[in-house]
Structure 1
Amino acid sequence: MTNADQSLRDLVSKLVQEQLNFGSRELAPDDDLWNMGMTSLSCMGLMLNLEDALDVELPTESLQHGTFRSVNTIVAAVAAVREDAEPAADATTPVA
């Protein structure tokens, strides 16, 4: 895991803890957030907070139980959006 991956995981974990009002409660990356009190309303709020904090736009279809099951699944969704947003190496090469 790179430092960037760990930083993203730490930020997502912090946002989850704030959204679900965990305070200093320990949160493991694979904990099931729905079993820990996530609701559809808190999920929507978390998605909006993630988008603001990380300057990404998660697709509407990502707002589902599986995407927001754990910190790790959220990190994977954000990473996928970031990968899609990066320009391809060939896209920056001028056409002759």
Structure 2
Amino acid sequence: MGNLEFANYIRRYHAQKDFPGVEHWVSMARHYDGIVGINDEPTKTKIDAKTGKPSRMEPEYRALLSLRNIFPRETNVLNIFGNLENGTNMVVSNHIKN
């Protein structure tokens, strides 16, 4: 199951009694905030220092905002992303914050 599919699965089914517990989630190469080179550039989106909100939000990102209120707090998340092919992974346009 891909990252967006898993996040949407949680969003849709979290309230069902038979929803399985999620102890760990490893999110690799996620594209919640767009795909660099297709609909985003590393320096295009800015984060507002006061609100923490990005200057632009892709529909996929906007749809995930409701997860802040329902995502299982006991779940440990490892989010792996980035590779600028210049020895760094420091540019991230926007991301889900807990």
Mark yes or no: TM-score above 0.5: no
Structure number with greater Rg is 1
Q: Which structure is higher in RCO with an 8 Å CA cutoff and minimum separation 6?
A: 2
TM-score, normalized by length of structure 1? 0.26
More helix by share: 1
